[in-house]
Structure 1
Amino acid sequence: MKDNLTGQNQEGSNANWPVKILTATSIIGDDVDNTQGENLGKIKDLMLDVHQGTISYVIMEVGGFLGINEKLFAIPFKALKLDPADQKFILNTNKEQLEQAPGFDKDHWPGTNSHEYYEGAGTYWGNFMGPSTGTALT
């Protein structure tokens, strides 16, 4: 705590353990794997609820090459678990469920002020969220 008040970096391999706060830039670009260790995609962006001051959704990018033929998914932030050791997130789903999920492409984002798409996505992903979602893996 003393180091945090002085602005000095803590020393040691576990100086920031357990992970509680991350910068947006440290999350964007992180891999998202499933519980079987298969890569599902990468975090492309964060959707912030400016009234609540929280991350509502991450936008996960799947497939494509250099932005061509990619598909985007709005995943409720609470559906992801942090794997700090491997600097990635875990989503409790498989590739078949992902293929059936509501998604969109980079040129046709759903309206950000219309909650219809995001509520539907939240309902879909809520089916795969266990009771311990949004917590760090140990």
Structure 2
Amino acid sequence: MKEILEENMTGVNAEGNYPNTPLRVLTAKSIIGDKVHNMNDEYLGDIKDIMINIIDGTIEYYVIEFGSWLSLNKKYFAIPFDMLKVDAERQLFLFDQPKSALENAPGFDKSHWPETNIHYYDYDSNANWTFW
């Protein structure tokens, strides 16, 4: 018990050489700006924001900015929390979708965010992720 209290006061984890291994917690600040790739290692975008359900404290979805840095046609997508996986070794997130799924999906632009209290998404067994 004394060790736990000391860890809480100092931030030093006394358990092993790698205190956050396997990765268990991250700050929101450390996630925002992280890159998102697909399983083919194609760059899909960056995490721009995290939407939190303030009723139960869970993450509802990540906001992903898709498009090249030169592109004026950037799109934003609301990706459900459980559809992104952390690649701790490479310090990025993985989204199991082809780049074409985001290229062809409508997304939303920076000036026209979806209603934050009504968010719809679906994922079917054919790996067709949609946002409407």
Bucket of the pairwise TM-score, normalised by the shorter protein: 0.7 to 0.9
TM-score normalized with structure 2 length: 0.80
Report Cα offsets for 1:10-47 as digits up to 9, x if no partner. 48762210111110000000000000111100000011
Q: Over the residues paired in the alignment, what is the CA RMSD in angstroms?
A: 2.5
Which residue does 2:65 correspond to in 1? 61
Say if 1:7 and 1:126 are closer, same or farther in 2 by CA, change over 3 A.
Answer: farther
Pick from 81, 89, 93: which aligns with 1:89?
93
Structure having the higher helix fraction is 1
Shift of 1:95: 1.0
Q: Which amino acid aligns with 1:9?
A: V
Q: Is the 8 A contact 1:79 1:125 kept in 2?
A: no
Which structure's relative contact order is higher, taking Cα pairs within 8 Å and 6+ residues apart?
1
- Deviation, 1:100, is 2.6
Higher Rg = 2
Whose strand proportion is higher, 1 or 2? 2
Q: Counterpart amino acid of 1:36?
A: N
From 26, 29, 36, give the equivalent of 1:32.
36
2:10 equivalent among 7, 10, 18: 7
What SS is found at the alignment partner of 1:21? coil
CA contact (8 A) 2:66 2:102 kept: no
- Partner of 1:43, secondary structure, is strand
Aligned residues: 124
Unaligned ranges ≥5, structure 2: none
1:70 is aligned to 2:74: yes
Identity %: 44
Secondary structure in structure 1 of the residue aligned to 2:8: helix
Counterpart residue identity of residue 111, structure 2: D
| Cα distance between partner residues in 1 of 2:43 and 2:124 | 17
Aligned-pair CA distance for 1:4: 2.7
1:82-123 Cα shifts (integer Å, max 9, x gaps)? 00111100000001112233410001101112x2xx21xx21
With 93-102 and 81-90 compared, the bigger mean Cα shift is at 93-102
Question: CA 1:56 to 1:102, structure 2 compared with 1: closer, same or farther past 3 Å?
Answer: farther
Report the Cα offset of residue 52 of structure 1.
Answer: 1.5
Structure 1 residues 126 and 27, CA gap change in structure 2 (3 angstroms): farther
Structure 1 gaps of 5+ residues are: 130-138
